Amino acid sequence: MSSHSEPAHYPADMWVLPDKGQVTRDVAEKAQSSSRALRLVTLAAEALAVLAVVGFVMRWVTDGFGNYSAWGYYVAVFSFIFLVTSSAPLFAVAFRITKNHWRRPVSRIAELFALCGVLNVILYIPLIYILPPISNPNFGPDSHGELVIRRSIWMEVPFGAPHLWNFLGIVCLAVAALALLWLSALPDMAEARHTATGFRGALYRKLAGHWYGTKRQWHRQKVSLAYLGGLYFMMLIFVQFLIVSDFAMSLIPGWKDSILPPLYTVTGFQSAISLTLIIAFILRRRGGYSNYIGLSPFWSASKVQLGLTLLWTYHLFAFFITMWYGRLETEQNLIRYLIFESYTGIFWANVILIFFLPFFMLIWNPLRKSDWGPTLAGLSILCGNLLFQLRMFVAAFNAGDIYALGMTSVPPPVFPDLWDVFMVVGGVGMAALVFLAAARLFPLISVWEVKEGAMYQDKRPLFRGEYLVLAKPE
Amino acid sequence: MQEGRALTPTEINRDLLNSIMETPRWFWPVVGFLATIVLAAAITIGIMIDRGLGITGLNRPIVWGFFITNFVFWIGISHAGVMLSAILRLAKAEWRRPATRAAEVLTIFSLMTAMIMPIIHTGRPWRILYWAFPYDFARGIWPNIRTPLVWDPSAILTYLTSSTLFVLIALVPDFAVLRDRYADKVANSEHPSSTDQIFHAAYRFLALGWEGNPRQWKLQIIAGVLLSALILPVFVSVHSIVSWDFGMAVAVKSWHSTIFAPYFVVGAVHSGVSAVAFVMIILRHIYGWQDYIRHEHIDALGRLLVVVATGWFYFFVMEVIFGIYGREADEIAVRDFQFYQWPMSGWTIVFVVTTYFIPVALWLTRWARRNLWIMSAACISVNIGMWLERYIIIVPGLANRSLFSFTWASYVPSPAEALIVGATFAFVTMLMLLFSRVFPLVPLYDIKEGEFLRTEVQVGRRTVPATFRED
Amino acid sequence: MVTNRIDHKWGMVVDLDRCTGCNGCVVACQAENNLPINTKDLFLQRRTYSWIRIERYWQGQYPNVKARFIPVLCQHCENAPCEPVCPVYATYHNDQGLNVQVYNRCVGTRYCINNCPYQARFFNFWHPHWPDRMENQLNPDVTVRTRGITEKCTFCVQRLRRGELQVERAGGQRLDDQKLLEGNYAPACVQACPTNALTFGDQNDANSHIRPYFDDVNTHDIHHEYERETRGYRLMEEGATRPSIIYLKQIDQFPLEKNTNV
């Protein structure tokens, strides 16, 4: 078997492979092995999932679905899980389309989050009952300063808007993500369909029975992956736009902010990279995958992460300066509510965790060349993202009269009670549990991509040094 | 990803310096023609300054029109330089090599052209010092830093300075080659012409004593990477601030939108990269650089443009959706004017189709990306569309289709405005042509480096082109 | 003396019920403030000057129509959008609540014109021009503006200054509403209005005629508009510009709806 070789001394070094023929077996063995630590983590995730259910049931018992403002924290954690897990496959898609070499060992990690799409669908179902209708039920001749139909992207309120359409969007997104995972894992499943046993074997034979790796099949797989990836990208941005405008923007009276959907999407991209790198770090350090996952994914992905971090702040600033400069009453109240008064603590924590901390970590090259630097930055970004969701959605669900024309006052902040804490912490655990299950079902390394990469890379001398040579077929 | 034959450094020097060492026969007639247009526009500007802005088509309340549209357009074109050079350099994209110099130079010239626009469109341009520079110490009156119009000159001048530095640093090794060329020329002829001597002295000055030793190379590369990273925030800020000229104006419905900054930046990159692709096709044609600006480069630009265009389209859709989202009568009226009322509706259709649907549909196929005629057409189409986009943002907003119909107005540009706007295109073309006669528009050393790092890898029975990676 | 002037805050009340749309204010303003003559050419170019204008709207369908008039002038907003956007501080708020325009400093970027919700600012596209003999009637107290700058209603600041000087120098007192009326120091449009639709005064003067209207509108802001006791409202109140001009709604004795069956 392969020796546990040291990570390379400079990031250009890609993964160190054992004999190419053994990759499949090696990855399969690693995926099946279960350590004590893994069992502990699984147990913890299960416990958290139970907590989440308890929190949800208690919230339901105490407030019911009618009182939508009690559900702010639930929506926040739903949005967090949805945003992070639905953006994660994009990591694989984007870097595959741009033919980045270093993505090969980590792209499967990102794609496995497709299974969390099912969780998103389940978590969305209560929201159908929670989200208040767009038409004002209490509108009458004596209503002063109220709207018949509150501002929303569903102008004329077509049938089922927004609940049904958002639900459809999330279902379609989940299906597309699963299709993406299936397409990408197809060659790997086919290779393992005769060696794998039990449920996995049956699953692989069912899903990849027709794959023989002919030239035609390979070609079709690659083309479909590219097109499905592009489609997924567009669907993702659209559904994120629906969620953030229906559950955050349209619930705060007078909030008209065209940059919020892009800001939300950028947060998603940041989190996708963070999450993938964190898991890659764990696999590299504790999972025995250090032969596959070298330093180059950290080094290269963190460059993109740095750009996204700046982009996030840029979007936030564009929002802030436009609202602040206009001196319109609603906009002033809004930035007071979200930034300067009610949620100011959580806002600054959010900005520090999602921008300042990762930015000042990542502009430092020695840190980016390590595996723990980008991981720590990623952890900080994920925490910042959670705070961002809490700030946006809890604030939106408690902003007062949603049918008012504009914001006339600054509402106080809303703090979580025990059940809210249960739901937030437990919801994250639930997502982790789904990922752990996914990791047992599919190989954690995209075997065909790594093998393909091994063919395209070489080491050649140039002057006094030895450098990596990368082939780029058209 | 590399096609075409391998090139030796001698060949590279000979081919890429041909634009400087020889004057093509068409050169002076073309430059003369362009100069005539520019001169005509300069005279018109003189008349405008003398008689007042009455000779434009501007009226009340449409006080910003063609000039500001053109200003935003040229600022947009200027975003190509940094987008291509800095971002692709940081991303180590191999295909950037022949495109960087042309992009950077286009940046500088379009910025200079853009800066003319707001100056001549003010009522009293000779008082511009009040505005752009805080010179009025005696009376203690400083420019009002609260206005985007003061952020504008500072951002643009910073951008101009930094991109000029960027180009000059990248040019140093090429200047040294030219210096040596002219040194030979002067030394080898019995009676060296004074032009040659002047050129030799100039290149010697600009080459800053470049010898090509490892330390100099290291410094040059570090300076390039550092400037790439530092210039990026400037690049984003310039067009953001230009967009805030509009975004900060609360009174004009449809302008006060939070998305304007990234929307304008992406649009700028879209039009700028298209313009660079077009310039490269022209250069390839007029100087015979088929071996340097190859189909693969144009192809790569096309693929980049698909992404940029789609990003732009997303922002455009967001802007429109959240324009009508507020359901305010005044804003809806502006949108109605933009999208449903002739002739603005016609322009809107032309703009959306030429900016997005035609070019992206073409760029999706490899065949079209590699056909230079189609690529040129698509790139021009994008720029027509992007010019109209700015027009459609600026004029309908100002036409003030509010509930108070008493102040409604319409705008028809005067011939003077059209001439000046047209002449800016001639001006940039002329500057690019003149520049190509004195500085190499394809970086010699960058191409040589690319050739040097070029190799091949055997995959099965196929030989695949490959490159050495430095990290 | 200057310190005495500081607590003025000028304001105007426009009673739409009294306005007959006679355009007297427009002519008075034209004569007082040296506005160029609005020739046919200027009309065709849509570059006319009218610091105060009567906007005329038709309500209803022919033959059941009513003309509605509303005089619009610079609103001298407390929170004026035109002020922060001027790069050279050519327009700013002075200590008497006036939005003033410094012609010398203006470079003519026209950003303020864009950012004025009331379209009350005017740009000099051409150099102003009068027939020879008419130059003799120009008001010596008012600058003749050159081409290339922006101008607008000043609340006839030259008259206010003269009034202030007279009152304050003579008695050493503050120029209040009473003295304003006695001395006829009001802006030209107010003085010219035959129906007294325009009233001018000091918002800070507790006894002034216009004070109750401002108190009412300030107390019951846009969110409690329906609680107002007077007919007062501000133009485009939702824009939060807080104008110094209050309009009083028209009382329709014979509303159109009642006429429709006739």
Q: Which residues of A132-152 are buried (b: 16+ CB within 10 A; e: fewer)?
A: bebebeeeeeeeebbbebbbb
| Of the listed ranges A3-12, A356-365, A448-457, B221-230, the one predicted with least confidence | A3-12
- In this structure, the number of other CB atoms found within 10 A of the CB of residue C238 comes to 13
pLDDT at residue B406, as a whole number? 83
CB atoms near residue B1 (< 10 Å): 19
Which subunits have 3 or more CB–CB pairs within 8 Å of chain B? Answer: A, C
B280-283 contacts, C-beta under 8 A, 24 or more apart = B280/B98, B280/B99, B280/B102, B281/B372, B281/B375, B281/B376, B281/B379, B283/B102, B283/B436, B283/B441, B283/B442
> Rounded to an integer, what distance in angstroms lies between the CA atom of residue A459 and that of residue A403?
65
Closest approach of B317 to chain A, Cα-based (Å): 10
What percent of chain A is modeled with pLDDT above 90? 56
| Environment class of A441 (CB within 10 Å of its CB; exposed 0-12, middle 13-18, buried 19+) | middle
Question: Contact at 8 Å (CB) between A115 and A435?
Answer: yes
How far does B144 lie from chain C, in Å, by closest CA?
5
In this structure, what are the phi and psi dihedrals at residue C211, rounded to the nearest 5 degrees? -55, -45
Interchain proximity A456–B459, CB inside 8 Å: yes
d(CA C54, CA C19): 9
How many Å apart are CA B163 and CA A144, to the nearest integer? 56
> What pLDDT sits at residue A10?
40
Q: Is the dihedral of CA C50, C56, C57, C61 positive or negative?
A: negative
**How many CB pairs below 8 A link A and B?**
121
Q: CB of C239 within 8 Å of any CB in chain A?
A: yes
pLDDT at A1: 34
Provide the token pair at B271. 């039009």
Q: What is the pLDDT of residue A2?
A: 39
> If DSSP states are collapsed to H, E and C, what string results for chain B?
CCCCCCCCHHHHHHHHCHHHHCCCCCHHHHHHHHHHHHHHHHHHHHHHHHHCHHHCCCCCCCCCCHHHHHHHHHHHHCHHHHHHHHHHHHCCCHHHHHHHHHHHHHHHHHHHHHHHHHHHHCCCHHHHHHHHCCCCCCCCCCCCCCCHHHHHHHHHHHHHHHHHHHHHHHHHHHHHHHHHHHHHHHHHCCCCCHHHHHHHHHHHHHCCCCCCCHHHHHHHHHHHHHHHHHHHHHHHHHHHHHHHHHHCCCCCCCCCCCCHHHHHHHHHHHHHHHHHHHHHHHHHHHHCCCCCCCHHHHHHHHHHHHHHHHHHHHHHHHHHHHHHHCCCHHHHHHHHHHHHCCCHHHHHHHHHHHHHHHHHHHHCCHHHHCCHHHHHHHHHHHHHHHHHHHHHHHHHHHCCCCCCHHHCCCCCCCHHHHHHHHHHHHHHHHHHHHHHHHCCCCCHHHHHHHHHCEEEEEECCEEEEEEEECC
CB B77 within 8 A of CB B241: no
Nearest to A469 among B90, B244, B466 (CB): B466
As a whole number of angstroms, the distance between CA C12 and CA C98 comes to 11
- In angstroms, the CA A338 to CA A347 distance is 7
Q: Tell me which amino acid residue C262 is.
A: V
DSSP codes joined into one string, A33-74: ---HHHHHHHHHHHHHHHHHHHHHHHHHHHHTTT-GGGGHHH
Rounded CA gap, A427 and A360, in Å? 30
Chain A hits for C81, Cβ within 8 Å: 327
Residues A386 and A353: their CA atoms lie apart, in Å, by 10
Q: Best of C85, C221, C222 to disrupt the A interface by mutation (most A CBs within 10 Å)? A: C222
pLDDT for A9 equals 42
Contacts of A329 in chain C (CB under 8 A): 240
CA distance C19 to chain B (A): 17
Q: Which of B250, B462, B465 sits opposite A328 (nearest CB)?
A: B250
Q: What confidence tier does A467 reach under pLDDT thresholds 50, 70, 90?
A: confident
Any CB–CB contact under 8 A between B195 and chain C? no
- What single DSSP character describes residue A129? H
Work out the angle at residue A371's Cα, subtended by the Cα atoms of residues A271 and A375, and round it to the nearest 5 degrees.
25
Distance from CA of B279 to the nearest CA of A (A): 25
| B469 with A469: Cβ contact below 8 A | yes
- What is the spatial distance between Cα A440 and Cα C207, in angstroms, rounded to a whole number? 84
Q: Does B250 touch chain A (CB under 8 A)?
A: yes
Residues C186-239: tens digit of each pLDDT:
899 999 999 999 999 888 888 888 999 999 999 988 888 888 889 999 998 887
Sheet with A457-462, side-by-side order of all strands: A457-462, A465-471, B462-469, B454-459
Q: Distance between alpha carbon B70 and the CA centroid of its chain, in Å?
A: 12
- Give me the amino acid identity at A425: V
What's the start-to-end Cα distance of chain B, in Å? 18
Q: What is the pLDDT of residue B35?
A: 97
Per-residue confidence (pLDDT) for residue C3, from 0 to 100:
46
Q: Does A451 touch chain B (CB under 8 A)?
A: no
Task: Assess whether pLDDT exceeds 80 at residue A143.
Answer: no
Mean pLDDT estimate for chain A: 88
Q: Is A118 on the interface with B (CB under 8 A)?
A: no
CA gap C55, C53 in Å, rounded: 6
Q: What is the pLDDT of residues A213-260, one digit of tens each?
A: 899 999 999 999 999 999 999 999 999 999 999 999 999 988 989 999
* Least confident segment among A263-267, A268-272, A297-301: A297-301
Residue that is written with structure tokens 């400083």 in the block: B142
Structure tokens at B173: 């090794």
Closest Cβ opposite residue A144 in set C84, C226, C239? C226
Sign of CA dihedral B409, B410, B416, B420: positive
Of A85, A87, A86, A105, nearest to A96 by C-alpha is A105
Which C residues in the span 21-80 are in contact with A, Cβ-Cβ below 8 Å?
79
Q: Which residues are CB-neighbours of A98 under 8 A, at least 6 positions away?
A: none
Scanning every residue of chain A, which has its alpha carbon at the shortest distance from the alpha carbon of B251? A326
User: Distance between CA atoms of A179 and A236, rounded to whole angstroms?
Assistant: 14
Cβ atoms of B165 and B206 closer than 8 Å: no
Q: pLDDT tens per residue, chain C (262 residues)? A: 444 455 788 999 999 999 999 999 999 999 999 999 999 999 898 899 999 999 998 888 888 888 889 999 999 999 999 999 998 889 999 888 899 999 988 999 999 999 998 989 999 999 998 988 888 889 999 999 999 999 999 999 998 888 888 777 777 677 777 777 666 678 999 999 999 999 998 888 888 889 999 999 999 888 888 888 899 999 988 878 889 999 999 888 777 765 555 4
**pLDDT at residue number A291:** 79
Q: Is B257 on the interface with A (CB under 8 A)?
A: yes
Q: H or E stretch including A276?
A: helix A260-285
d(CA A157, CA B116): 48
Question: pLDDT below 50 — which residues of chain B?
Answer: 1
Q: What is the pLDDT of residue C240?
A: 81
**pLDDT tops 50 at residue A385:** yes
pLDDT for the residue numbered A12: 41
Q: Name residue A232's amino acid.
A: Y
Distance from CA of C80 to the nearest CA of A (A): 10
A455 touches chain B (CB under 8 A): yes
* Residues paired with residue C200 on neighbouring β-strands, in sequence order: C12
Q: Please, what is the angle between helix A215-247 and helix A260-285, to 10°?
A: 130
Q: Report the pLDDT value the prediction gives residue A6, as an integer from 0 to 100.
A: 42
Residue-level pLDDT at A21: 67
The arrangement of strands across the sheet holding C10-15 comes to C198-202, C10-15, C245-248, C232-233
Q: Which residues of C touch A406 (CB under 8 A)?
A: 238
Query: What DSSP state is assigned to residue A457?
Result: E
Long-range contacts: A156-162, Cβ < 8 Å, 24+? A161/A134, A162/A131, A162/A134, A162/A242, A162/A246
A262 and B318: CB-CB below 8 Å?
yes
CA distances (Å), B9 to each of A356, B15, B171, B216, B445, in order? 46, 10, 17, 19, 9
| pLDDT per position as a tens digit, C142-165 | 999 999 999 999 999 998 888 888
Which pLDDT does position A270 carry in this prediction? 95
Query: How does residue A68 score in pLDDT terms, banded at 50, 70 and 90?
Result: confident
pLDDT for residue B3 = 67
What tokens appear for A196 in the block? 């794998």
- CB distance A407 to A333 below 8 Å: yes
Which chains are within 8 Å of A by 3+ CB pairs?
B, C
Q: Would you call C84 and A325 a contact, using CB atoms and an 8 Å cutoff?
A: yes
| pLDDT tens, residue by residue, B392-423 | 999 998 887 877 788 888 899 999 999 999 99
Give the whole-angstrom CA distance, residue B276 versus residue B106.
8
Q: Which residues pair with A461 in a beta bridge?
A: A466
In this predicted structure, what is the pLDDT of residue C257? 66
Distance CA(B106)–CA(B103), nearest Å, equals 5
